[in-house]
Structure 1
Amino acid sequence: MQDFGGLDDVDSSLVHALQISPRASWARIAKVLGLDAVTLARRWNRLTEQGAAWISCYPGLALAVSGHGCLAFIEVDCANGRLLEVADRLTRQPMVSTVEHVTGDRDLLLTVMATDLATLSRWSTTVLGALPGVTARQIHLAGAIYAEGSRWRLRSLSPAQITRLAADQPPRGHRPGPLTLTDLDRRIIVELSADGRAPYTALAERCGASVDTVRRRTRRLLDEGAVHARCEIARPLSKRPVAAVLWAGVPADTVEQAAHSIAGMSDIRLCAGITGRHNLLIIAWVRSVDDIQRLETRVTERVPGIVISDRAVALWPMKLSGHLLDEHGYRLGTVPIDGWNMQRDKAPGSG
């Protein structure tokens, strides 16, 4: 996968277009880009087959706000020589959306999505805590999410093209009424996490419902912020191949103001309020390891008084929003995100 030749101008424009509108039709994208729809579809197939780009889809904060889930970041320490074994088992867990091998005082950083705190507690003790090779774990609950990866852009399109593609996108998190989930909604969310651009006909077949019903429910989930779709690319192709993780603290009465200021920075992939010894978690894609210090300088200039007390570099993003990646960041496959499925760990070969 690492031999992929890179993104040319058409590929870059296509990826940027899908970052703005991940489920837009090829005809619509072709009209904005001034290209042929068949050519764009063929280009996209090439990118996905090479693991260079893909559409992910994951539960949105609107679910947690409505009482349908919770999000946690978990630091995991592993026994010597057991890291790859532990990581492999964790990537197979449907509640674990992201697994990263990172530097610093922890071996792995997980993003875990559960239906509620009780389920998270049960999973962390009976599954994660019982996993052979896990020596310690530290759980940070996420509060407000001020920036997340679906807002990150490749910056290949003109302002006019961006405006045209974004014209019919609903306001993020728009909710005309109370957010409720049906069993069909849950099945759709799980299926979309495997392929965020799956056609409605395929979703209908997999979910056991009519195409019209699935189309209506899917659009509602996206419009209300119950799920977020985003176009990802292999990190080496982003021109920002290094993922930096910062744990920071600000006075409690300034968290929201500080977080919004940080979220406005172009390199930021995640800015979340968290519980624990820090109250902000920041993840950014930067050009090099040296650039991490420059990132910290920019953050402290924007938020005077912020204390960055720990930092790490993601050496290998093994799983990202449900998609399995090789050591170079190219997609290998998927384990659908399913916060309703507290799968017990099974040793290899145990059936």
Structure 2
Amino acid sequence: MRGKEAVTPSRREGRGTATFSGMEEIDRRIVALLAADGRMSFTDLAKRTGLSVSAVHQRVRRLEKRGVIRGYTALIDYDAIGLPLTAFISIKPIDPAAPDDAPERLRHLAQIEACHSVAGDESYILKVRVPSPLALEELLQQIRAAANVSTRTIVVLSTPYEHRPPAIPIDEPPAEGDDAAG
């Protein structure tokens, strides 16, 4: 810094330098590619990024170690495995003075796919998958009893899309012939 002037990194400072988010542009590209296809091979990643296979491998392992890439998972057809009913359940403590420990109290319920802390009247929104309306009713009773909460439920009728990769801002792909040993 010169004087009181703040120096902010530009979005396009080269492939090996940090971008505004603190992550190198090439790492952002790798994360974007893996978010779209978690099974993409190191060879394909290398072709798409202009890096060598070993450089891509090192960068992916570093991203995993830093916790940027937290894991890989299979996308499931829930109808095919007998869990066709998806619902969102908003929960609110019955006693506002009670400890905020609902996520821990509900962790044992495998039907809860996700638990989000939210702003608003409710404290959390749960995404659940169950085989039937009766199973949803039973799950609601379990949630209310385990966490001492009131619930509000929204049943999903259809899902036009989900599991979309995040909109990771990245610069244009490297030009053909760029030397990037990474």
Same topology, TM > 0.5: yes
Find runs of 4+ consecutive structure 1 residues off by over 2 angstroms: 219-225, 250-255
Larger Rg computed on CA atoms = 2
**1:237 corresponds to 2:66:** no
Alignment of 1:42-191 (within 5 A): 180-191=22-33
SS at match of 1:312: strand
Instruction: State the secondary structure of the residue aligned to 2:72.
Output: strand
TM-score normalised by length of structure 2: 0.72
1:206 to partner: Cα distance: 0.9
> What residue number does 2:159 align with?
317
- Given that 1:263 and 1:271 are in contact with CA atoms closer than 8 Å, whether structure 2 keeps it comes out as no
Q: Which residue of 2 aligns with 1:254?
A: 99
Count of residue pairs brought into register by the alignment: 147
Which one has a larger percent strand, Structure 1 or Structure 2?
Answer: 1
Aligned to 1:278: 122
* Counterpart residue number, 1:200: 42
CA-atom RMSD in angstroms: 2.1
| In structure 1, C-alpha distance between the alignment counterparts of 2:121 and 2:52, rounded to whole Å | 49
Q: 1:266 to 1:222 in 2, by over 3 A?
A: same
Give the CA deviation at 1:253. 6.0
Where in structure 2 are there 5+ consecutive unaligned residues? 1-20, 171-182
Distance 1:195 1:252, change over 3 A: farther
Higher helix share: 1
SS of equivalent residue, structure 2 residue 154 = strand
Deviations 1:56-109 (A, max 9, x none): xxxxxxxxxxxxxxxxxxxxxxxxxxxxxxxxxxxxxxxxxxxxxxxxxxxxxx
Counterpart-to-counterpart distance in 2, 1:204 and 1:266 = 38
What are the Cα deviations for residues 12-63 of structure 1, in whole angstroms up to 9, with x where unaligned?
xxxxxxxxxxxxxxxxxxxxxxxxxxxxxxxxxxxxxxxxxxxxxxxxxxxx
Long gaps (5+) in structure 1: 1-178, 323-335, 342-351
Task: Report the alpha carbon displacement of residue 223 of structure 1 after superposing the two structures with TM.
Answer: 3.5
Sequence identity percentage: 25
Provide the residue aligned with 2:64 in structure 1. Answer: 222
TM-score, normalising length: structure 1: 0.39
Displacement of 1:180: 4.8
Return the alpha-carbon distance in structure 1 between the equivalents of residues 145 and 105 of structure 2: 10
SS at match of 2:73: strand
